[in-house]
């Protein structure tokens, strides 16, 4: 008995030493989408400051495929030593498990939440040549012509798909989903008139909005974006429940030492508190994250239940 206790104490001290010494080498950050995505952009804003605090660099590994499931699974299977992390989008944590039958892990149990890095609210977007000047006008037309308006998305279960489904359910209108292979294809379809609506974040349509080719009718947030001060919120437009977007969160494989998780979360939070970082995020149409691991875990549980209800109401079944 004494020997067992002694061994346990030694193992505990060894684990503490490892956690205190972490990190001793570069950290691989898996982003489960092609390079240049919003997660890429938001992390590169904080990368240098975060590396300065931790004393090691981050090596970004863009591992795309299966709506982010391939990259996420790579992290799930990695050693829980703090040297392989996931920077995933909303759907990787709280949606894909309800959309893909082949997904063989539950992100709520297979991953350890660390913190949210950035949160970009959705915009309700139409082409400039359309007659809709406000969200109420769009809703009015949709009510009078059920099933006549198409909305695009980068694929089933993606944040733009779910945001548009939530909009339709709250507004009591019938919209037709047209999935595409990625956001650029969906934007092109909107510009050409093949779809009449796209609910997405600013980074996907910023250039076309600036050029006047697209029009933002509302932002799905409680406050207006600083970079689009003339675009009203969905709350102002009469849809207070339309609060949605796409956040990017950090997670580690199950079994990662809680002290490493806490140190990472604290480092990210400190960096996101820097005024210069906050200004750069605001210019990109993003809010900063910085939640504690416990707060992030609670948010994952709440959003998982919320989006499952939206998917069920929309008739989306695992494929």
Number of H helices, E strands in the chain: 12, 10
Instruction: Tell me: do 104 and 251 sit in the same domain.
Output: yes
Instruction: Tell me: do 80 and 159 sit in the same domain.
Output: no
Instruction: Tell me: do 86 and 164 sit in the same domain.
Output: no
How many Å is the Cα radius of gyration of the chain?
21
Instruction: Tell me: do 110 and 90 sit in the same domain.
Output: yes
Instruction: Tell me: do 108 and 149 sit in the same domain.
Output: no
Q: pLDDT, tens digit, for every residue of 161-190?
A: 999 999 999 999 999 999 988 888 999 999
d(CA 80, CA 114): 13
Return the CATH number at 210.
3.40.190.10
For the chain, where are the alpha helices, taking DSSP H only?
A: 2-21, 38-54, 69-76, 90-94, 107-110, 135-144, 159-171, 183-192, 202-210, 258-272, 275-283, 293-314
pLDDT number for residue 13: 47
d(CA 19, CA 21): 5
Instruction: Tell me: do 302 and 271 sit in the same domain.
Output: yes
Q: pLDDT, tens digit, for every residue of 16-44?
A: 555 778 999 999 999 998 888 888 889 99
Asked if pLDDT for residue 6 goes beyond 70, the answer is: no
Please state the domain count of the chain. Answer: 2
Q: pLDDT, tens digit, for every residue of 256-265?
A: 999 999 999 9
Return the CATH number at 80.
3.40.190.150
Asked if pLDDT for residue 284 goes beyond 80, the answer is: yes
Instruction: Tell me: do 102 and 137 sit in the same domain.
Output: no
Whether residue 208 is contained in a domain is answered as: yes
Q: Are 134 and 237 in contact (CB under 8 A)?
A: yes
pLDDT confidence bin for 130, thresholds 50/70/90: very high
The more confident residue out of 86 and 159 is 86
pTM: 0.85
Whether residue 283 is contained in a domain is answered as: yes
Whether residue 256 is contained in a domain is answered as: yes
User: Which has the closest alpha carbon to 125: 215, 47, 243, 225?
Assistant: 215
Whether residue 233 is contained in a domain is answered as: no
> What is the residue range of 38's domain?
27-120+246-314
Whether residue 150 is contained in a domain is answered as: yes
Average pLDDT taken over every residue of the chain? 91
Asked if the peptide bond before residue 201 counts as cis, ω within 30 degrees of 0, the response is no
Instruction: Tell me: do 46 and 193 sit in the same domain.
Output: no
Instruction: Tell me: do 60 and 141 sit in the same domain.
Output: no
Instruction: Tell me: do 214 and 258 sit in the same domain.
Output: no
235: exposed, middle or buried (C-beta count within 10 Å: 0-12, 13-18, 19+)? middle
Whether residue 228 is contained in a domain is answered as: no
Instruction: Tell me: do 148 and 97 sit in the same domain.
Output: no
């Amino acid at each position: 008995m004494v020997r067992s206790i002694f061994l346990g104490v030694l193992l505990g001290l060894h684990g503490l030493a490892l956690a205190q010494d972490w990190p001793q080498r570069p950290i691989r950050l898996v982003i489960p989408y092609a390079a240049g995505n919003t997660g890429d952009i938001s992390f590169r804003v904080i990368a240098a400051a975060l590396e300065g605090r931790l004393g090691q660099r981050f090596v970004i590994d863009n591992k795309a495929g299966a709506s982010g499931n391939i990259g996420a699974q790579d992290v799930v299977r990695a050693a829980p030593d703090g040297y392989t992390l996931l920077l995933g989008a909303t759907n990787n944590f709280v949606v894909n498990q309800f959309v893909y039958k082949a997904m063989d892990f539950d992100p709520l149990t297979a991953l350890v939440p660390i913190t949210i890095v950035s949160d970009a609210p959705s915009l309700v977007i139409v082409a400039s040549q359309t007659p809709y000047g406000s969200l109420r006008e769009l809703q009015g037309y949709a009510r009078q012509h059920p099933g006549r308006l198409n909305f695009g998305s980068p694929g089933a279960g993606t944040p733009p798909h779910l945001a548009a489904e939530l909009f339709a359910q709250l507004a009591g209108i019938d919209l037709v989903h047209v999935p595409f292979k990625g956001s650029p294809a969906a934007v092109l379809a909107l510009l050409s008139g093949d779809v009449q609506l796209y609910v997405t974040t600013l980074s996907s349509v910023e250039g076309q909005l600036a050029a006047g080719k697209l029009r933002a009718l509302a932002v799905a947030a409680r406050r207006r974006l600083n970079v689009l001060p003339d675009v009203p919120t969905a709350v102002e437009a009469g849809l207070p429940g339309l609060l949605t977007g796409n956040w990017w969160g950090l997670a580690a494989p199950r079994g990662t030492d809680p002290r490493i998780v806490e140190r990472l979360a604290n480092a990210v939070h400190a960096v996101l508190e820097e005024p210069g970082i906050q200004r750069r995020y605001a210019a990109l149409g993003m809010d900063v994250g910085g939640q504690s691991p416990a707060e992030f875990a609670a948010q994952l549980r709440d959003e998982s239940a919320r989006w499952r209800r939206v998917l069920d109401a929309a008739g989306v079944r695992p494929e």
